[in-house]
Amino acid sequence: MRRFVLWALALGLLAGLAACGGKGTAPTAAPAEQSMETQAPEQAPAQAAVEPAKEIVFFNWSEYIDPEVYDLFEQETGIKVIEDNFSSNEELLAKLKGGVTGYAVIVPSDYMVNIMIQEGLLAELNHDNIPNLKNLAEEWRNVPFDPGNKYCVPYQWGTTGIGYLSDQIDEPQSWAVLFDPNPDAPWYGRATMLDDARESFAAALIYLGYDPNTTDEAQLQEARDLLIKAKAGLSGYDSDTYEDLLASGENLLAHGWSGDFLVAQEDNENIAYTIPQEGGVIWVDNLCIPMSASPEEKLAGEMFINFILRPDIGAKISEYNYYASPNAEAEKLLPEDFLNDPTVYPPQEVRAKLHFLKPVGEAEALYQRLWDEVKAAP
């Protein structure tokens, strides 16, 4: 969800990128047999340099980038960016594994990056086309799920906790507000949880005192039962509009991502955000290029990633979506009150209680099966 850079001049000099067949195109028919008189000499023609695609599709989370960034990128490069949206990492994975093509840049979270690498779904980045990688803070240059940023570039990071209307209810201290539903509580029936298997299971597991990355089936079944119990006090599962429902006053409580609640404060100043005392999730979303992208799309995608890594563009994106930037140079352009906001940059004592979600191998199927059971329960 980031910054894009224009260097048409420099990229015009890139001539060594191999041109393979574009995705979604039919194989070229073999030429008819030529006569000896018209047959071309047995000499391989010079391979043309790859030109960036004139239009690319950015598969992103909703409302996660300032739309003006697209206009700025197009003005500088002539490349038009079309945005498509997904609601969860699992939806993104399912689309790519199902053979859906046409995306030049995607935005998976940390644990999903590792899964996609193992599945062979991501293309290696050409760092020569992304010189603004140097702007990343040291912390984000060698992340454990993608050492050396071989496949992806960190985009934004944040936390998962609880948003609430501070003028109507007190600050929630525990995940118990969701997992111990009380019909007398004002938020009973006016609360949502993320429609996201790993995030929702993480909240339940953390509340139970378990590792949110556990593969222990008994612990996961206990978490499933807790999530089913919580359904009595929920109005539904929602990863797209939960902050809007809170801002309108339709709901009083929501499990969700930090920046979404801060953005929603523009519509309702009473929205507040907290991380329960048991802890929560910390995550980083990443800019990656699917293996299915054509060479032209890949080059344009790398130009787009480089543009997002520009300090002014990175700062613009963070000021739009209220998430922390992994871009050290962009942070220098952000206001002090933004950098000192504990909702955006949690203090160390809070961060010590936060957990990254990690790949769980074959247990991914178990998580999904149990989540399906949660969703199907009355």
3-class DSSP string for the chain: CCCCCCCHHHHHCCCCCCCCCCCCCCCCCCCCCCCCCCCCCCCCCCCCCCCCCCEEEEEEECCCCCCHHHHHHHHHHCCEEEEEEECCHHHHHHHHHCCCCCCCEECCEHHHHHHHHHCCCECCCCHHHCHHHHHECHHHCCCCCCHHHCCEEEEEEEEEEEEEECCCCCCCCCCHHHHCCCCCCCCCCCEEECCCHHHHHHHHHHHHCCCCCCCCHHHHHHHHHHHHHHHHHCCEECCCCHHHHHHCCCCCEEEEEHHHHHHHCCCCCCEEEECCCCCEEEEEEEEECECCCCHHHHHHHHHHHHHHCCHHHHHHHHHHHCCECCEHHHHCCCCHHHHCCCCCCCCHHHHCCEECCCCCCCHHHHHHHHHHHHHHCC
Residues 236 and 310 in one domain: no
Residues 153 and 164 in one domain: no
Residues 68 and 201 in one domain: no
Residues 93 and 218 in one domain: no
User: Tell me, what's the pLDDT at 48?
Assistant: 55
Residues 253 and 315 in one domain: no
Residues 122 and 221 in one domain: no
Strand 271-274 relative to strand 105-106: parallel, antiparallel, unpaired? unpaired
CA distance 107 to 154: 9
> What number is the average pLDDT over the span 122-142?
97
Distance set, CA 62 to CA 1, 28, 282 (Å): 10, 37, 19
Residues 201 and 222 in one domain: yes
Q: Identify the sign of the CA torsion 215, 121, 193, 236.
A: negative
Residue 119 has pLDDT above 70, yes or no: yes
Dump pLDDT digits (tens) for 234-252.
999 999 999 999 999 999 9
Residue span of the structural domain in which 153 resides: 8-22+50-157+284-339
* Residue 103 in domain: yes
User: Tell me, what's the pLDDT at 49?
Assistant: 86
Q: Are 216 and 38 in contact (CB under 8 A)?
A: no
The domain spanning residue 98 has which CATH number?
Answer: 3.40.190.10
* Residue 271 in domain: yes
CA distance 17 to 30: 24
Dump pLDDT digits (tens) for 151-166.
999 999 999 999 999 9
Place of tokens 């293996």: 291
CA distance 234 to 114: 32
Main-chain phi, psi angles of 294, to 5 degrees: -70, 165
Percentage of residues in the chain with pLDDT exceeding 90?
87
Percentage of residues in the chain with pLDDT exceeding 70?
87
* Residue 43 in domain: no
* Residue 369 in domain: yes
Q: What is the mean pLDDT of the chain?
A: 89
First-last CA distance in the chain: 36
CA distance 291 to 104: 9
Task: List all residues 6 or more positions away from 195 whose beta carbon is below 8 Å from its beta carbon.
Answer: 87, 88, 237, 238, 239
Distance set, CA 94 to CA 5, 115, 121, 350 (Å): 30, 12, 11, 33
Residues 264 and 317 in one domain: no
Q: What is the dihedral of CA 256, 260, 265, 266, to 10 degrees?
A: -160
* Residue 33 in domain: no
* Residue 148 in domain: yes
User: Tell me, what's the pLDDT at 204?
Assistant: 98
Q: Identify the sign of the CA torsion 165, 167, 173, 178.
A: negative
> What number is the average pLDDT over the span 366-378?
97
Residue 292 has pLDDT above 70, yes or no: yes
Number of domains the chain contains: 2
Residue 9 has pLDDT above 50, yes or no: no
Which is nearest to 223 in space by CA: 232, 236, 210, 235? 210
Place of tokens 């739309």: 67
Residues 75 and 185 in one domain: no
Residue 36 has pLDDT above 80, yes or no: no
* Residue 367 in domain: yes
Q: Are 304 and 155 in contact (CB under 8 A)?
A: no
Residues 222 and 269 in one domain: yes
Residue 28 has pLDDT above 60, yes or no: no
Residue 300 has pLDDT above 60, yes or no: yes
Residue 351 has pLDDT above 60, yes or no: yes
* Residue 14 in domain: yes
Residues 204 and 289 in one domain: no
Least confident of 19-28, 279-288, 360-369: 19-28
Residues 114 and 185 in one domain: no
**Is the model more confident about 258 or about 23?**
258
Which is nearest to 193 in space by CA: 245, 148, 139, 145? 245
